[in-house]
Chains A and B, each alone.
Chain A
Amino acid sequence: MLKYILKKLLIMAITLWIIITLTFVLMVSVPGSPFNSEGNSNEIVQANLEKHYNLDKPIPVQYLLYLKSIVTLEFGPSISQPNQTVNDMIGRGFPISAELGIVTVIVALISGVTLGVLAALRHNGVIDYLSMGIAVLGISVPNFILATLLIQQLAVNLEWFPVATWKSPMHMVLPVLALATGPMAIIARLTRSTMLEVLTQDYIKMARAKGLSPWKIIVKHALRNALMPVITVMGTLLAGIMTGSFVIEQIFAIPGMGKYFVESINHRDYPVIMGTTVFYSAFLIIMLFLVDIAYGLLDPRIKVMKKEGE
């Protein structure tokens, strides 16, 4: 297990380093400097930029100082909003985005697994076709289109839900629905197919031969094994939910990090784009690492290597 963790840790570090370096290389190679484009005539901003990115120094030194600033979690200033730093934006936006993300993950997991299990248990029955129909639609309709439809139908036409901003639980319903549908569909399909495979395994027959109740067989023997592949795709799903939140926050006017990020893209606010990308990537890569560890803990074939490893 220790060896497994160390290996994953090393890969995580390299991936992080690559994304950090990539942002730096891309910014340096932007034709003209991204730091003195036309819209940027503000002197305070220019001073901040020069200070943060050490523009007066040679590029290798800039790079090293940039690495240092990232390690110390200083993500730099903003061009479009003087007196603001990327850290300020993260501080304000991240809690909201995280709340949206966590609720979405929970909703997607619970509904996806439930749909998938029901479909597998009623294989080729009405429930199976129904839930797989929902799942294929969920995968096919892009989240920003779903979001627009939801706003138009449920918020504007029927006025069931408030739209825009982030105040009450009612404000959460539509964005979460729009964001969770895709991941839910993927989880449902995956759960169904692994569940179908697991249900034909000998150990399920064996559990039945022991006289266990169907409920116990499903929860203790089948689901546990069927969910292992779901854990492996959690990293990808988190990435999808995160990038999805960019547009969802934009559409629902939720003051999260994603909204700031899309605004910074529209304003070509390069320092903010760089800083937020590095932050997002780091967050995601660490999440991926945690998912890997969780998988290792749940799969005894990896977990027990601990005894030999230590």
Chain B
Amino acid sequence: MKPQKNPQHITSKNVPDDWFTWRGKNTVEQELVARPSLSYWQDAWRRLRKNILAMSGLVFLILLILFAVFAPVFSPYEVDTGVLSEQYQPPSAEHWFGTDGLGRDVFTRTWYGARISLFVGFMAALIDVTIGIIWGGISGYKGGRTDNFMMRIIEILYGLPYLLVVILLLVVFKPSLFTIIVALTVTGWVGMARIVRGQVMQIKNYEFVLASKSFGTKTPRIIRKNLLPNSMGPIIVQMTLTVPSAIFAEAFLSFIGLGISSPNASWGVMANDSLGAILSGNWWTLFFPAFFISFTMFAFNVLGDGLQDALDPKLRK
């Protein structure tokens, strides 16, 4: 439908007379050139796929999850039984990541550690999201005095030093998978609640929500059908950033002696155990847990950044 090519020799000076014939308006031609319509999620996925860094983060995380699930199953070694005579073996064909001071296989322990770190991370994020959506959703949707009251509580909780509260709780209740997750979420949900509230307050005033209301749609349905789907973007981004911070917190706690105790291995515990070993040259005992903590956090961070860009409706082109 491109305009016909104009022969080179014709300029505005010498146009042939027979070109002076009516052509008429033809606005239809133009309107046809529209871009294919994509749904919000299709469009976001299309843009995320173009982000190489975010996609490599995603691939890394998928591999990590697969290994965490299956590697211990196939490993010939137990997580907590080592052969003392085989302590501090460098990486080899039998022990891919070497062995630690108690002769335990670092490869096996690393994947057990992955299970724990990922479990803590995802559970913490999931609980944060659940509480955050309920609290933030009610606060933002109700508005007025309810909102005011609920926000004051958030403001106060927000002022509490997160890790100190976690430490305090774990000092009193013996550290276990359960208590660590509880401690991490006691004040952790506050950030999510703030985000959800902000989203809900913004969206509830949009015309399509007002329209649903005017048809007499019931509140729970409005929340489910209108508010949640439209505030999903920032919630997902916040989730991707909650997971690494929970993983970091767990490792940090292990490091100051409030981690998950034997026979379980978490990356933080493994790193802490091998602090002494590294100075005597047994680098692998620290390297593998440290590498996986750092890379998992890195992967989540770049994925979160990528999602943030991909899910931002303002950037839609």
A residues contacting B by CB (< 8 A) are 11-12, 14-15, 18-19, 22-23, 26-27, 29-30, 34, 136-137, 139-142, 144-145, 148-149, 151-152, 156, 239, 242-243, 246-247, 250-251, 262, 265-266, 268, 270, 273, 277, 280-281, 284-285, 288
Contacts and interface: CB of A to CB of B under 8 A. Distances in A.
B161 A265 contact: no
B163 A285 contact: no
Contact of A247 (B168, B255, B278): B255
B279 A250 contact: no
Interface of B: 152, 155-156, 159-165, 167-169, 171-172, 244, 248, 251-252, 255-258, 271, 275, 278-279, 283, 286, 290, 293-295, 297-298, 301-302, 305
Given A148-B290, A152-B279, A265-B257, A142 B156 contact: no
> Which 8 pairs of residues, A with B, have the shortest CB-CB distance?
A140-B298, A15-B159, A140-B297, A243-B163, A145-B290, A26-B172, A141-B294, A266-B257
A288 B167 CA distance: 20
Contact of B161 (A34, A141, A284): A284
Interface of B: prevailing SS:
helix
Chain A CB within 10 Å, residue with most, of B155, B244, B255: B255
A156 B256 CA distance: 23
Contacts of B155: 11
Given A15-B160, A243-B163, A140 B171 contact: no
B161 A247 contact: no
Contacts, number: 109
B161 A142 contact: no
A268 B302 contact: no
B302 A136 contact: yes
B255 A144 contact: yes
26 contacts: A11-B152, A11-B159, A12-B159, A15-B156, A18-B156, A22-B168, A26-B169, A26-B171, A136-B301, A140-B297, A142-B297, A144-B255, A145-B271, A145-B286, A145-B290, A151-B279, A239-B161, A243-B252, A247-B252, A247-B256, A262-B256, A265-B171, A266-B256, A270-B171, A280-B164, A281-B164
B246 to A, nearest CB: 12
A19 B160 contact: yes
Nearest to B257: A266
Given A27-B172, A148-B290, A139 B301 contact: yes
Contact of B165 (A22, A136, A137, A288): A22
B161 A280 contact: yes
Nearest to A292: B159
Contacts of A142: 248, 251-252, 293-294, 297
A251 B171 contact: no
A187 to B, nearest CB: 15
A26 B297 CA distance: 32
Contacts of A137: 294, 298
Chain B CB within 10 Å, residue with most, of A30, A136, A137, A156: A136
Contacts of B162: 239
B258 A265 contact: yes
Nearest to A185: B301
A293 B131 CA distance: 30
Nearest to B294: A141
A157 B290 CA distance: 19
A243 B161 contact: yes
A288 B159 contact: yes
A61 to B, nearest CB: 22
A124 B317 CA distance: 18
Given A239-B163, A262-B257, 10 more contacts: A26-B172, A29-B172, A137-B298, A140-B301, A145-B294, A148-B290, A246-B256, A273-B171, A281-B164, A284-B164
